[in-house]
Amino acid sequence: MTHAAGSRREPRRSRPGARRLVLATALAASSLAVTLFRAPALLADPPAPNIVVILTDDQRWDTLWAMPTLQAELVGKGTLFNNAFVANSLCCPSRASILTGKYSHSNLVYGNNPPQGGFTSFDDASTVATWLQASGYHTGMLGKYLNGYSADQISYIPPGWDRWFGLTQRTAEFAYYNYTVSDQGVPAQYGSQETDYLTDVLAGQADQFIRDTDHSQPLFLYLALSAPHAPAIPPPRYATAFSDLEEYRPPSYDESDMSDKPLYMQSQPPLKTRQQRSLDALRIDQYRTLLALDDAINTVLTALTETGRLSDTLIVFASDNGQTWAEHRWKKGKIVPYEESIRIPLIIRYDPLTQLTPRTDDHLVVNIDFAPTLAELAGVLSPAVDGLSLVPLISETPVDWRSDFLIEHLKGVDKVPTYCAVRSEGYLYVTYETWEEELYDLALDPYELDNKAMDSAYAQTIASLRTRLQQLCDPVPHKFTWPYDALPPSVPQDLVGVPFGPTEVDLEWAASSDNVGVTGYTIYRDGAQLAVVNGETSYADLTAEPDTTYTYTVDAFDAAGNYSAQSEPVIVTTPP
């Protein structure tokens, strides 16, 4: 099984007592760990923690400022992960990864619809819910489970859940009013009254679940809200909030030059004025729905406090994927491999480790890490996963960590070509089934405006990322093939250089007959790139100096970005 990207640390397999063992081991390992763990409290034999996962729908990482309760009680008393991502930016596959700790190629849920996606494609026999329930947790799933959970399955309660309050597919993606839920397998209809507002209903259900759970039993609450998913309908109490919100216009908004993007992105037309206004209105409404969501967080925290559970509750707040606001002209919100689509908010508060102290963490973390984290802190056995436990990061224990991770997508009704991508600390590299490639140098180009995939200055970087991506994306999505599985171009032959006066050297070479698909050549002078020519097998160097000796070489490249080795050198001396 492919393990988490770039990690030299094997994913932990938790077992009963593992939580106490890992803490004690960390304490013995270093004096720094003793300071961070506050040894006297953690060397005791604490009960299994309560676990609350609050999952939002299509929430961007940069919207947390608008949620005052979350800022005060979670960000202000926990760990904010600045570099949190999803491995597949789409609702159902992301949620499948959260529940299993596995990439799409491991849990086989690539999309929202069958045959390789949706509720009916998900093997629910082993999830974080079944692990926790088997060890004595009282478990509850409230809200959106997986796309495709429909009226036909409304009596079905997936294994691992004691309390089940699941939205049906017809309404799950767009529900704020007029929706149907499976309440312990029985249909329940909600209408259009203010009291039917979904976020508030789910908050009430969460409050009841917490209060009804026997105090002697640990609880696992999975609260999956629909906000701020479009159409983002706010409740009446917040209908006018954020009316003066400034327009969002980063450099990538309605990107002017799309010529270096894949064809499916080049086909996106510039936004019309009415589309801009519509997206601006949606963005404001999404912020408004977050205020109701913030109220739900307050309801959960109040219930935990009043039942005496808060001090020993692990709270995870995250989204199932990000959301574009017309960056690169993309109006569909997610699916694409760009930053706004794959980056998510992630906050973890667990008072025994986070100590009510705000902290930020810059490690690359992925939604496949959630399940092993819950398992380790609960001290339960979990099957093999692709993710890593975040416990060392939460507790500030030194640990080798990943430097990259996989993003994968299988083409569906969205028309985005199947792709595999690797997001490292410095680059995003994407290979599509169309054999198109993208490479963004995130340090120099954080808005992903300048595709460097065909820039020979990045040839070594591309070669390294190609190798790494093939390691990560294994097995590949259905019908996907690597463009660089083909043989690279043959080395150009018979390079000849002739001085034509003191300041010009004319170069010619021959291409091998098997060089099908070669689109150009790179000319090097004294080891440095001099020029790139498209198709021609000759070049005039007009920058030579009189009475100077130069060494020239040439390589070939194809449309997929494969490069040959450099030719045999030719040495030329210009006349005085």
> Each residue of 13-40: pLDDT tens digit?
333 333 333 333 333 333 223 222 333 3
The amino acid at 212: D
Q: How confident is the model at residue 284 (pLDDT cuts 50, 70, 90)?
A: very high
Question: Is 328 a residue whose pLDDT tops 80?
Answer: yes
- What is the spatial distance between Cα 19 and Cα 294, in angstroms, rounded to a whole number? 31
Q: How confident is the model at residue 83 (pLDDT cuts 50, 70, 90)?
A: very high
- What is the spatial distance between Cα 547 and Cα 542, in angstroms, rounded to a whole number? 14
Pairing of strands 163-167, 179-183: antiparallel
Which pLDDT score is estimated for 37? Answer: 30
pTM for the whole structure: 0.79
Domain 488-573 in CATH 3.90.110.10 = no
Does residue 30 or residue 393 have the better pLDDT?
393
Exposure b/e, 251-278, CB count within 10 A at least 16 = b? ebbbbeebeebbebbeebeebeeeebee
The share of the chain scoring above pLDDT 70, in percent, equals 89
Mean pLDDT of the chain: 90
Which pLDDT score is estimated for 485? Answer: 63
What mean pLDDT do residues 169-179 have?
72
Does residue 103 or residue 413 have the better pLDDT?
103
Please give the DSSP secondary-structure letter assigned to residue 129: H
Q: 54: closest CA among 311, 197, 196, 226?
A: 226
Question: Is 420 a residue whose pLDDT tops 80?
Answer: yes
Pairing of strands 219-224, 79-81: unpaired
Give CATH superfamily name and number for 18-395. Alkaline Phosphatase, subunit A (3.40.720.10)
CB 83 within 8 A of CB 364: yes
H helix intervals, 307-421: 339-342, 351-354, 370-378, 391-394
Which pLDDT score is estimated for 517? Answer: 61
Residue 565 CB neighbours (<10 A) = 12
Could you read off the pLDDT of 247-279 as tens digits, one per residue? 999 999 999 999 999 999 999 999 999 999 999
The structure tokens listed for 557 are 């490249």
Q: Which CATH class is domain 417-484?
A: alpha beta
Query: Domain boundaries in the chain?
Result: 18-395, 417-484, 488-573
- What is the spatial distance between Cα 558 and Cα 111, in angstroms, rounded to a whole number? 32
Which pLDDT score is estimated for 338? Answer: 98
- E strands, 74-178, are 79-81, 84-85, 138-143, 163-167
CB 137 within 8 A of CB 217: yes
Tell the residue number behind the tokens 């596959």, with chain if given: 93
Which pLDDT score is estimated for 14? Answer: 34
Question: Is 135 a residue whose pLDDT tops 90?
Answer: yes
- What is the spatial distance between Cα 167 and Cα 173, in angstroms, rounded to a whole number? 9
Q: Is 80 helix (H, G, I), strand (E, B) or coil?
A: strand
Q: Is 156 helix (H, G, I), strand (E, B) or coil?
A: coil
Tell the residue number behind the tokens 């082993």, with chain if given: 126
The structure tokens listed for 436 are 């198109």
Q: Is 194 helix (H, G, I), strand (E, B) or coil?
A: helix
Q: 462: closest CA among 420, 425, 428?
A: 428
- What is the spatial distance between Cα 527 and Cα 539, in angstroms, rounded to a whole number? 16
Q: Is 479 exposed, middle or buried (CB count within 10 Å of its CB: 0-12, 13-18, 19+)?
A: exposed
Cα angle: 334, vertex 367, 107; to 5 degrees: 90
Exposure b/e, 530-552, CB count within 10 A at least 16 = b? beeeeeebebebeebeeebebeb
Could you read off the pLDDT of 348-368 as tens digits, one per residue? 999 999 999 999 999 999 999
The structure tokens listed for 222 are 């999975």
Q: Is 401 exposed, middle or buried (CB count within 10 Å of its CB: 0-12, 13-18, 19+)?
A: middle
- What is the spatial distance between Cα 401 and Cα 416, in angstroms, rounded to a whole number? 31
Which pLDDT score is estimated for 111? Answer: 94
Which pLDDT score is estimated for 500? Answer: 94
Q: Is 339 helix (H, G, I), strand (E, B) or coil?
A: helix
Residue 222 forms beta bridges with which residues?
53, 141
Cα angle: 374, vertex 382, 296; to 5 degrees: 25
Which pLDDT score is estimated for 414? Answer: 84
Which pLDDT score is estimated for 490? Answer: 84
- What is the spatial distance between Cα 383 and Cα 194, in angstroms, rounded to a whole number? 43
Question: Is 207 a residue whose pLDDT tops 90?
Answer: yes
The share of the chain scoring above pLDDT 90, in percent, equals 82
CB 419 within 8 A of CB 35: no
Which pLDDT score is estimated for 205? Answer: 98
Q: How confident is the model at residue 174 (pLDDT cuts 50, 70, 90)?
A: low
Indicate which residues carry an active-site annotation.
91
Question: Is 569 a residue whose pLDDT tops 90?
Answer: yes
Residues 6+ away with beta carbon under 8 Å from 420 = 406, 407, 408, 430, 431, 469, 472, 473, 476, 477, 480
Does residue 25 or residue 297 have the better pLDDT?
297
